[in-house]
Amino acid sequence: MEPETHTEPVGDEEPLFSNLDLFLFSLIIGLVVYYFMSRKKPEPIPEFKKIDTPQVSQRETSFIEKMKKTGKNIIVFYGSQTGTAEEFANRLSKDAQRYGMKGMAADPEEYTMGELARMSEIKNSLAIFCMATYGEGDPTDNAQDFYDWLQENDDEDLSGLNYTVFALGNKTYEHYNAMGKYVDKRLEELGAKRIFDLGLGDDDSNLEEDFVSWREQFWPAVCEHFGVEASADELSIRQYELKLHNDVNMNKVFTGEIGRLKSFEVQKPPFDAKNPFLAPVTVNRRLNKAGDRHLMHLELDITGSKLRYESGDHVAVFPTNDSALVNRLGEILGVDLDVVISLNNLDEESNKKHPFPCPTTYRTALTHYLDIMNPPRTNVLYELAQYASEPKDQENMRKMASSSPEGKALYQTWVLDSCRNILAILEDMPSLKPPVDHLCELLPRLQARYYSIASSSKVHPNSIHICAVVVEYSTKTGRVNKGVATNWLKNKLVNGHKSTVPMFIRKSQFRLPFKATNPVIMIGPGTGIAPFMGFIQERGWLKEQGKEVGETVLYFGCRHKNEDYIYQEELEDAEKSGVLTQLNVAFSRDQDHKVYVQHLLKKNKEHVWKLIHTDNAHLYVCGDARNMAKDVQTALYEIAEELEGMTRTQATDYIKKLMTKGRYSQDVWS
């Protein structure tokens, strides 16, 4: 018998399935087969290959983990705007090695500063803070987050932290060493233990001497605290090793870029200190009519950069050294400046792999990256002394690097007072022949130069104006020293070869009052007029918009009306149009007795006092900090005493309150 599934009927028996059943069954089977055959297969989940990139791990922001991993027990944080505090931090971390300890220099911006509470996890640990003060008592850009953290964390327990602070400042400024003093006091408030007194460095006097004197006493105190032998190893310690590149792709060699390779060829925003914008120079003209000085006005085109600025901000430019000086250095050292090299950090765990962008050539390093014009600091002399073949030269160089009174005096007269840069030292000490790679390791980085912007973005949104005086002077050795940045800017030809300027903008607190109806008194002799050109343009623009604008008063000063009365035409036009309600100019040398801006303030004391005391005026001072800014302040004290009957103490407090309220702003330099 056939299996039951056979569909053909046998005799008269009733079939197992009717035709309808078979049809339906076939239809169902067909649909099921169709469903399984035609349905979309699920997309296979791709296996992503793990990209081999550095992980953003805890280690990278954890200085504690890094110290543990590398066996370091001393960390030197720096708050640095011009590179000096960073330089001091590197010297201190190098010192630690000489005393049998291990140190690392660290940028607080790169680490989680809350980890200071974990310092007790490391035996015999110490945190050193080299903190510079910038502007009007402000932290440097890279220490801003650390400053905010200190202010905001009242319940932080830093009882396991041993610390000391060296502060860098300038006595001519109102808020001398404010940042260093604040860090020192605040760490103690949070329970940390100060193991050596706060050091105060004064750049108006001799910052290097202040640092060396502090450091000479600091290390014995550290050794005593930790029970370490207080005898330093006198050997020179190299931080970087030289690598020569004989066969290298020149497309991979840095040619002056600050950050990213080829960033000057392919510009990509955002533009900042690590990625400057190359701004073409569209105007470069001499401002003064006569005299032996060169005052200049430059205009930089920022079209397409997406850079924004406000009146009172600063423009920073990255200059290059004079090629003649670079060539002379190569000649005196007997080296081929076009050799491609890298200086690689011997500490592989260090965040700072090279002292400047590498690979590059000696020529590029000495032109773009290294400061060859400033007198070298004592640590450079100490390290280079070993390369002098004359014993007397070796002795003098080591003496100048010591803290002995005789050594300090020799450094002051032979290096500082004589304005000897590294080239002058090499020329005047023929037995000194250092290897160029060690010299490049020791020289500090060439820093950006800051200028108060002399324009308003309301009037010139795509242009930044600079007003500067070219620096050039004779030294006691008969040499002529030229300011790096101003001479470099002076030679920027409009639409000429290499007529671009690498630049970025630094925001400032130097701002016009929020209410345009507030009167403003601007005091700025010489190139101190720069930000006020922007203020005047902006007040003029506000008037054109139909806004009510308060009194706008300017006190300007120069030597001779017919020589260096800069922006005379623009200022007189602003006065005629009513934008400047009062233009006061002091020509200091056009008469027998000297007349300065402070004398004109005293002469107009009733009007000045009414604007300040009654009309809520904002005062602005820009220019020389050492004399002018102080003399202006004294004149204001005297006006308050004469017209309001205040004592000197009351007058001083009154002016300080104006500063606290933001009604007395200074943009000064020494």
Q: Is 452 labeled as catalytic in the residue annotation?
A: yes
Q: In terms of C-beta density within 10 A (0-12 exposed, 13-18 middle, 19 or more buried), how is residue 30 classed?
A: exposed
- The response to whether 169 counts as a known ligand-binding position is yes
Residue 183's SS3 state is helix
Q: Which structure tokens are listed for 367?
A: 């032109």
- The response to whether 182 counts as a known ligand-binding position is no
Q: Is 670 labeled as catalytic in the residue annotation?
A: no
Q: Which structure tokens are listed for 173?
A: 């400024």
The CB density around residue 137, as the number of other CB atoms within 10 Å, is 17
- Of residues 130, 358, 558, 622, which has the active-site annotation? 622
Residue 384's SS3 state is helix
- The response to whether 631 counts as a known ligand-binding position is yes
- The response to whether 540 counts as a known ligand-binding position is no
- The response to whether 371 counts as a known ligand-binding position is no
Q: Is 219 labeled as catalytic in the residue annotation?
A: no
- The response to whether 78 counts as a known ligand-binding position is no
- Of residues 62, 202, 213, 669, which has the active-site annotation? 669
Which residue matches tokens 């100048």?
A: 400
- The response to whether 669 counts as a known ligand-binding position is yes
Q: Do 507 and 662 contact (CB within 8 A), yes or no? A: no
- The response to whether 352 counts as a known ligand-binding position is no
How many Cα atoms within 13 Å fall on the side-chain side of residue 567?
32
- The response to whether 451 counts as a known ligand-binding position is yes
- The response to whether 225 counts as a known ligand-binding position is no
CA dihedral (413, 418, 421, 424) positive or negative: negative
- The response to whether 267 counts as a known ligand-binding position is no
- The response to whether 595 counts as a known ligand-binding position is yes
- The response to whether 176 counts as a known ligand-binding position is yes
- The response to whether 5 counts as a known ligand-binding position is no
**Element holding 324 (H helix, E strand):** helix 323-333
Determine the Cα–Cα distance for residues 10 and 484; give it in Å rounded to an integer. Answer: 115
- The response to whether 82 counts as a known ligand-binding position is yes
Question: Which value, in Å, is the radius of gyration of the alpha carbons in the chain?
Answer: 34
Q: Is 622 labeled as catalytic in the residue annotation?
A: yes
Report residue 546 CA to chain centroid gap. 39
Bridge-based pairing state of the strands 500-506 and 277-286: antiparallel
Helix (H) and strand (E) counts in the chain? 22, 23
Q: Quick one: which of 504, 473, 472 has its CA closest to 491? A: 472
- The response to whether 486 counts as a known ligand-binding position is yes
How many Cα atoms within 13 Å fall on the side-chain side of residue 525?
23
- Of residues 125, 452, 508, 665, which has the active-site annotation? 452
- The response to whether 582 counts as a known ligand-binding position is no
Question: How many residues does the structure list for the chain?
Answer: 670
- The response to whether 173 counts as a known ligand-binding position is yes
**Element holding 278 (H helix, E strand):** strand 277-286
- The response to whether 483 counts as a known ligand-binding position is yes
- Residues at the binding site for FAD are 449-452, 467-469, 473, 483-486, 669
Binding residues for NADP(+): 293, 527, 588-589, 594-598, 631
Binding residues for FMN are 80-85, 132-135, 168-177, 203
Feature table: binding site = 80-85, 132-135, 168-177, 203, 293, 449-452, 467-469, 473, 483-486, 527, 588-589, 594-598, 631, 669
Give catalytic residues, as residue numbers. Answer: 452, 622, 667, 669
